[in-house]
A = this chain, B = another copy of it.
């Protein structure tokens, strides 16, 4: 058994109150008692029991993070940022992989509530009324990362998806591309799918290019396969496309692989721009030009917002993070 504050008190011939004071840097003891106690702690290898502390303080120094997919490069980059801030502030992070399943999500929310975490980070997933209700009942701060809620007033940190894809499209146009297509996410996805498609359409319009929804293929998700399987259909609609806007880097990589299979050279015959700037973007051939979300920073900022909300008890303001184009080699300048 690990030793307790009582053991320390006994060994140092003081009361547990005194030990507690020393442990918590509260005033009220002489230097010599402090030394006695510190020595006893050292000898016993005593480490305070955070569970007992948590019970009385109602502070567990723990937050929960909900991801639809822990193993995606996007999630892990965000997690990395979260974890680093949490560590700086002496908090622990419990990861929860919801698998986009309502059942799992609810189970986790309950678990996190029972464990009395002090706040929740909800990443890359749509918020529903059901979850929002549960979280409200929990009475702890929540911040959304890489997602937002139109319906519920929850603070979030994300980039402006519409504007980011507008930038990507604008970049393509600036490189001389006039025949553009997009492989977008689900149209029903009001947070990431629809706005990105809108950004594309708006850019085409803004720069006076012919614009029709035909130029967009909506997919089920943002994965490699969604890109891989949809280049050919898109090309069959518009054989003279010179550039593709992908709704994620995974999709972009899928498009590049599909192009390779089809014998189409990227970027010589077809330019591709991605979205996210995950690790793979710089590792692939050709290195992927993409509009970057500052994923690591988003994790950090989200965590900072959450901790500030925990500390102040107030809700914090949402933050729109800057996106930026990372020029690599998958887009060719044409005339």
Chain A residues proximal to chain B, CB less than 8 Å: 2, 45, 47-52, 54-55, 60, 62, 70-73, 75-77, 79-80, 83-84, 87, 90, 92-97, 104, 107-108, 110-111, 113-116, 137, 139, 224, 250, 253-254, 256-257, 260, 279-280, 283-285, 287, 296
Most interface-central of A45, A87, A108, A110 (chain B CB within 10 A): A87
Query: For A93, what are the chain B residues with a Cβ–Cβ distance below 8 Å?
Result: 94-95
B54 touches A83 (CB 8 A): no
- Taking the closest CB of chain B, its distance from the CB of A231, in whole angstroms, is 14
Query: For A279, what are the chain B residues with a Cβ–Cβ distance below 8 Å?
Result: 71, 73
- Taking the closest CB of chain B, its distance from the CB of A63, in whole angstroms, is 10
Task: Identify A114's interface contact among B49, B75, B96, B253, CB under 8 A.
Answer: B49
Give the residue name and chain of the B residue nearest to A94 (CB). Answer: B92
Identical copies in the complex: 2
- Taking the closest CB of chain B, its distance from the CB of A225, in whole angstroms, is 10
Pairs across A and B, CB under 8 Å, 29 listed? A2-B139, A45-B137, A47-B110, A47-B114, A50-B116, A51-B54, A62-B115, A70-B76, A70-B80, A71-B73, A71-B77, A71-B79, A71-B80, A71-B296, A73-B73, A76-B76, A83-B95, A83-B97, A87-B96, A87-B104, A90-B111, A94-B94, A95-B95, A250-B283, A253-B283, A254-B283, A257-B283, A257-B287, A284-B285
B79 touches A95 (CB 8 A): yes
A115 touches B92 (CB 8 A): yes
A51 touches B224 (CB 8 A): no
Knowing A224-B283, A284-B285 are in contact, say whether A113-B72 is a contact too (CB < 8 A): no
- Taking the closest CB of chain B, its distance from the CB of A83, in whole angstroms, is 5
Query: For A250, what are the chain B residues with a Cβ–Cβ distance below 8 Å?
Result: 283
* Chain A contact residues: helix, strand, loop or mixed: helix
Q: How far is B47's CA from A21's CA once the two chains are assembled, in angstroms?
A: 32
Q: How far is B133's CA from A45's CA once the two chains are assembled, in angstroms?
A: 12
A72 touches B79 (CB 8 A): no
Give the residue name and chain of the B residue nearest to A59 (CB). Answer: B51
B84 touches A111 (CB 8 A): no
Closest 3 CB pairs of A and B: A71-B80, A50-B114, A71-B76
Q: How far is B117's CA from A47's CA once the two chains are assembled, in angstroms?
A: 13
Knowing A47-B114, A49-B114, A95-B93 are in contact, say whether A76-B83 is a contact too (CB < 8 A): no
Q: How far is B53's CA from A55's CA once the two chains are assembled, in angstroms?
A: 10
B115 touches A97 (CB 8 A): no
Q: How far is B59's CA from A51's CA once the two chains are assembled, in angstroms?
A: 10
Give the residue name and chain of the B residue nearest to A299 (CB). Answer: B71
14 new A-B contacts at CB < 8 Å, known A62-B94, A73-B76, A94-B95? A2-B139, A49-B116, A50-B115, A51-B51, A51-B54, A52-B55, A71-B79, A80-B97, A83-B96, A87-B96, A92-B115, A93-B94, A280-B280, A280-B283
Query: For A47, what are the chain B residues with a Cβ–Cβ distance below 8 Å?
Result: 110, 113-114
A51 touches B97 (CB 8 A): no
Q: How far is B80's CA from A242's CA once the two chains are assembled, in angstroms?
A: 39
Most interface-central of A71, A75, A111, A279 (chain B CB within 10 A): A71
Q: How far is B80's CA from A72's CA once the two chains are assembled, in angstroms?
A: 10
